Structure formats: C-alpha cells, structure tokens
Structure 1
C-alpha cells in the first residue's frame, strides 16, 4: 500500500513538472544518461551546466573545450556533447535532481532545467521464514516475500491458486513494509502472509508476485503447505479378498481422515478389545463360522468416533451316507442320502467315472452296469466339497447263450459261450480247441469262444464259474457239414440249425417212400408179365399166393 502511494506521488510530481514546462529525463541506475540542453538547439554563446542553486558542473564556450569543475560528485563522471548535452556516467540515486543548462547569448541569458529521474529494477522474489504446515482454523504465519534494491519501491501481492489474497485483518493478514537504504537510496519491500487454513487448502499453491512500474511482474516458486486438521470420521475396511471360508486369515484396516492420521487404533472383536500401536491394521487368523459378525474400530483418545463392518465366514458341510468301497449283490437295493449344511445356497452335481450324471443316482434294483466310482460335488461361494464311493455289484455266473457256427471252409466249428457274472467268471470247455478267446468284461458280460474240428458226433460243455458259484451248458456238434444233430436241451438255444435239420428229415422220408413205391411197381410189372408168358391162370393156388406175398414182403424190407 505504501509503495502504491509513493508511485502515485512520483507520477504526480512528474506530471506537474511537465505541465509547468520542466523537461524530464529518465535514466537506469548504473547506466550512462544524456541530458539535452534546449533539445540540442544551441547555436552560439556560453553554456554552463549546474544543479540545484549553486552546484557547478562544467562550462563550455562555442568552439572551445569544456572546463569541468572540481565537484567531487561529477568531476570524473561527466562530459558534454557537440550539441551541449550533458553526459553523466554510472548514475545513482544521488543524481536524481534537476540539472540546468544556462546559455549566455549576446543579448540575454536563457536557462533550460531538466529533471533527471533514476529507476532501478527490483530483485526477484525471495521467500524466507517459510513454515511447513498450517492448522485448520488457526491463523498461521506462512512466509515472508522480499525484493531488494529497487526504485521506485516494488509492490508485492500474494496469490492462492492464482487468485489474489486480500487482507481482511482476521483470517488473512498481509503486512508490507518498504525500507530505503541510506547509502544507495534504493528501496527494499517485504511482505508477511498470515493465513487461516481450511480443509480445502490441501494441495493449494501459494505464490508472491513482485510488481514494478519499469518491469514485468515476477512470480515466486509455488509454496505448498501441509494442512493439519483433527479427525472427523473413522472408517473400517476389510483388506483381504472374500468370500471367506473357515481357516482363512482376514485383515482389517482402520483409517481416520485427520492429518496427520492417528498412529494408534482400538479394534473390537466379538467382545474383545485390542489396542494397536503404530499401526492401523489387525488380522483375524484361522477364522471359523463362529467368527461371523460385526467388527469395529475407534480412535484411542475418542472411542465414540468409531466405524464397523460385517464379516461373514462361509462354510459347507457334506455328509454322504455311502463311502469307500461298497459291495452289493445283483438285484439288491442300495439306499443313499446326501446331507448338506451350508451358509448359503449350494449346488450339487454327480459323476460316474468321467461321465456327468443328470441327477443323483438311484439303486432300487442293482445291475452290473451300476458298478463304478461315483463322485458327488457340492459347491457354494467359492467353496467345494467332493465325496466319492465305489460301488461293486457282484453275482454268480449265468450262461445267457451257447451257440455254434461253421467257419468259411465248412470244416471248423466255432463255439461261443455268452455269460454274465461278477467277479468276472472263468471258463472251462469240455474239449480242446484252437483260437481260444474271451471278450473284455462290459457291465458283467463276457463272451468266450473256441474253434474245434469234430471227427465224430460230440456233446461239448461250457462251464463258467467265480467264487459265488458255477454253471454249465452243453451243445451237440456233428462232423457232417450239415450238422443236423442237436441235443434236445439245446434246441431252444440253437434256433439257427433247427430249420435245416427239419427240412433234411422230411426230404429223406420222401425219398424213402418214393424208392419203396418204385421198387414195388417194378416187381409187380415183372411178375405179371411172366405169368402171361406161361399162360398160367392169373389166380394161383393158395400156396403160390402165400409165396408171392412173402417175396413182396422181403423186398419191401430191403
């Protein structure tokens, strides 16, 4: 404020001088200044330069050299130009005065006064007495801004985020003073800023700006202060990632919005109170379903300022009524239950081996195909429990089918015995053969085969057995290609050979009847022709008739 008034006064003086006809010349501190004499319009006569009322500097006649006085202030610093202008080197504030050029002509004496004004640019802003932090609601002296060696004196303005700060005498106080150096006459300006912070000042930039009539504005580097304020709110958060299951560790973090933040907190866990020094975290280890509930934290010196958060520990219990290896008999019933206890909604899926089942399996009447490893998977909220059991269905052997067929050459006979049972039954044939083989056991079914070359009619038996029992079945095998012979007990099992056998028997009977009829006809024809040749009676004696019948009967037996 003082600096502004000073500049106003100086400008006013200059204006008055200009209005009154007083010429003004401005020079920069330390530079060389030229002061004109009547704007260089001196043609002849005697010229004398002086200052104030009696300060003589030099004298010069037209066409002669100048005579410089012994004035210690100017003896070694002045000179005169061809147009009688005064030259002053290395001007200082002491040179800021009125210099008069007196011209003595033939008829009169003229004086031309010139006001010399010296200016000096201020130094860049310097920040001193800076604090590091300010408290909300408390008037704090932040810093002092200073600039030196200026003329006229520089002005200082404070800014916050590029907005000028105005002193209100309460929340903002700005004190500015100007000191003039007695030796140099130059002015130094300093400004102290006192400021009452609010929470919105966190991260704010404060600057001071130097303003001078002869230079551009100069800004200081930004000043950033720590804003301290007491806590107003406490928050509690769960650092660990959920969902949480039994056995997990859960870390809690308590924070307050104060600055600086509190260094200690109180944690409340299920009726237990724990004070944590120099930390804001607490870890719950190996949590269980009983750990589910609300947890709280507060400030040590203000327990009413607290926050809470709920924690849920998920759990999943699965009990399967069947476990391990279960052995059951064919046709029996297996009852199975799954009991699930969970903290939420669970999903259950089943697999048999690598195959997914659409639903929980039911075993009302066990089959061999029910044997296998079953897996029950129950899942919920990131938890998964798996229960398995192996079911074994066993039964004594049963022969489902015993068949025979000829090979391509109509020489070998291939016998096949299809059986069911578990454990897998072993086979024993009643004859030796080649290409003895057996198929893999699929759902308790297995097929045995053997190749033989029958030389005579045979009855071949297939016997299958396991530790639960044994069973056998027989089939008739003929060496003839037609293979018409079959045992009565295998007729139902060998339906493929029955039609051919029946056709063969009927065809043989027909041939026999035709042969007998043809023989009888030939005999009768021959006999009657012979009788006719001898001329004998057609009707013979009783003895001859008897012989004829005996002969016919013998031929018929043949």
Structure 2
C-alpha cells in the first residue's frame, strides 16, 4: 500500500506542477481510501496582485446538485453549510490557499469538487478536482461440498466483496471445468465479484487443490487463495498384494483391500467366488491372510466396501499352482 501511495503522490505532484489553467490551481484527479484522509489542494496564483479575492467556496458536484461544503471569507471567517460531522474542513484557509481536507473518507465522498474564488474585478474563477474513492475488498474462497455425479455443478467459489474498483479473479487448476463470473454493484458504490468453478464431480477430484487469484488496484500484490475440493462418493476399491506366485504349501499369502471414500469407509466384506471365504482364510477388516495355501483358495476374491453413500467393490483372480 505504501508503494502505491508513493506512486500516486508522485503523479499528483507532477499534475500539480503542469496544471496551469487560469489563476486557480488544483489537482485534476485525487485518489483516496475508505476510512483515510484526502487532501484537495487549491491555490490562487496572482503574482502581479492584480485581483482582490473576496471569498472562497468549495462545492461538490457543481454541474448538478451543487452542494456547498466550505466557505472562507477574509472578514467573516469559515463556514461549513453542509453537516459533515466535522469531517470536511479547510487546512489553513487564506485568500491564496483554500486546500480542503476530508477525514474518514466514505464511499459517498466520491465525486467532482469545485474550488471557486470570488475576485474583483474579474469575477469568479474556479477549477475542479475529481475525487475517486478506492475500497480494499475482502477476499475469500471456499469449496462447495458436492456428491459425485454426471451433471456439472458448482465446486468452488471465490469472492471479492465490497471493493472499488471491481477486482478481477483468475483460477489455477488441474481439473477440467468452467468458470462463471458475476459482478454486483452494491448500494454504497462498491462492487462484489463472485467467481464460480463448475465441473462434473468425481471421486478422483476429492482433495484436489486449486487456487483463485484476486487482483485489484488497492492490493500491493495479488491475493492468492488455496481451495481444496470436497466431493462425496462411494468407495473406490482396489485389491493389492497378489504376486501371481501362490502355490500349495506357501505360508502367509495375503491380500489387502484399499479404499478411498468420502465419507470414510465403514465396513469391509470379503467373498470368494461370491460366497463367504473358506475356513483356511483369516479376515481382519481390509486384510485377508492365508496361513497355508491349498487349492481351496483357488478362485476369485471380492472385497466389498461400504460408506454412507453406498458400496464399492473390487475383484482379484487367484491361481494356485
């Protein structure tokens, strides 16, 4: 933020030095941040002392509503016609310097401001400053808990809320899907950007990490938010451990049933040729062990795994030599 402010200050000083229209000198463009202070510089340059200044007036939106904000008269002093709770005031009012300070900036302060000097004998002279209020957004990202299926659904959301100007959001991902962005202008003049990642969810996507990146003028660097996808799915099952070397008399041959599931697997059931396993086989949850291999275990083993969503299974053909 400090770097951005220094850059803006450099720009303002440059503009100030080259803005030479008539006798009233202002900065054409000033940027401010919600909650902070803005300084609207205004000076009357009359090196020959040819003009007499009788009054200085600041107005907001001079081309339309013409809201009088601050008046300075050398004889009568300062007056603030509009109630701003003391937020708006002259810095050090004089007939040469009418610089205005606005404290605790609000989004409603955004607009065009006119600094007007009443002079004799030339009449009124004025110059305008466009004050742009910037707001730092609140950024967040989150997964959308979904169930594996065949239809495309929202799987992650990234939101940049209450910023000005509106943010831009991009995604970095290793998952095929589509991005949908929506822009909403809020009642206070700020913007909210919602970016939605949509895809056809599968169990393989559960736990996959992706990032959304938010860029906006008030941010020193992009805001990178990591999101971990969350997909509910029935168990994905594989049987491991068969080495194609089961022979009669071999000791301690085993198979392992591995399952990925969300929610987690709750039960494991082993079958052989569609029936309960023979007595020579020991089952301990996901582990199946044959202490002494015989032709009784020649066949197809099935591991059935269940969770709250349903059942998944895998088969392994075992050949006893």
- Do both proteins adopt the same fold according to a TM-score greater than 0.5, normalized to the shorter chain? yes
- 1:174 — aligned with what? 180
Residue pair 1:201, 1:227 contacting (<8 A) in 2 also: no
Query: Higher Cα Rg: structure 1 or 2?
Result: 1
Match for residue 53 of structure 2 among 36, 45, 53: 45
Task: After TM superposition, list the pairs within 5 Å mapping 1:532-543 onto structure 2.
Answer: none
2:156 maps to which of 143, 167, 180: 143
What TM-score, normalized by structure 2, do the two folds share?
0.66
Q: Say how many residue pairs are matched.
A: 272
Instruction: List runs of 5+ in structure 2 lacking aligned partners.
Output: 1-20, 22-26, 305-310
SS at match of 2:137: coil
TM-score, normalised by the number of residues in structure 1: 0.41
Q: Render the CA deviation track for 1:60-118: whole Å, top value 9, x for unaligned.
A: 245x5742133113655322435221222122111111111111222212111111111
Quote the residue 2:11 is aligned against.
none
Query: What aligned pairs does 1:78-477 form with structure 2 within 5 A after superposition?
Result: 78-81=89-92, 83-108=97-122, 109-123=124-138, 125-128=139-142, 130-132=143-145, 135=148, 137-160=150-173, 171-180=177-186, 182=187, 184-197=188-201, 201=205, 203-215=207-219, 216-226=221-231, 228=233, 235=239, 237-238=241-242, 245=249, 248-254=251-257, 263-268=268-273, 273-274=275-276, 279-287=285-293, 294-298=298-302, 306-312=315-321
| CA deviations over 1:342-364 (Å, ceiling 9, x no partner) | xxxxxxxxxxxxxxxxxxxxxxx
Structure 1 pair 258–267 and aligned structure 2 pair: CA distance change class (3 A): farther
* Post-superposition CA distance 1:379-431 (Å, at most 9, x none): xxxxxxxxxxxxxxxxxxxxxxxxxxxxxxxxxxxxxxxxxxxxxxxxxxxxx
Task: Answer whether contact 2:216 2:222 (CA < 8 A) is retained.
Answer: yes
Higher relative contact order (CA 8 A, sep 6+): 2
Distance 1:285 1:75 in 2: 88
Closer, same or farther: CA 112–131 of 1 in aligned 2, 3 Å: closer
Structure that is richer in strand per residue: 2
Choose from 63, 81, 88 the match for 1:77. Answer: 88
Contact 2:298–2:320 (Cα < 8 Å) also in 1: yes
Q: Deviations over 1:193-241 (max 9, x none)?
A: 322246764653122222212222111234243574775x8545348x9
Taking a change above 3 Å as real, the CA distance of residues 66 and 194 of structure 1, as seen in their structure-2 partners, is farther
SS of match in other structure, 1:105: strand
What's the counterpart of residue 432 of structure 1? none
CA 1:75/1:196 → structure 2, altered by over 3 Å: closer, same or farther? same
Following superposition, the deviation at residue 120 of structure 1 comes to: 1.1
CA contact (8 A) 1:77 1:90 kept: no
Unaligned segments of structure 1, at least 5 residues: 1-20, 166-170, 313-558
Query: Equivalents in 2 of 1:135, 1:60: separation in Å?
Result: 70
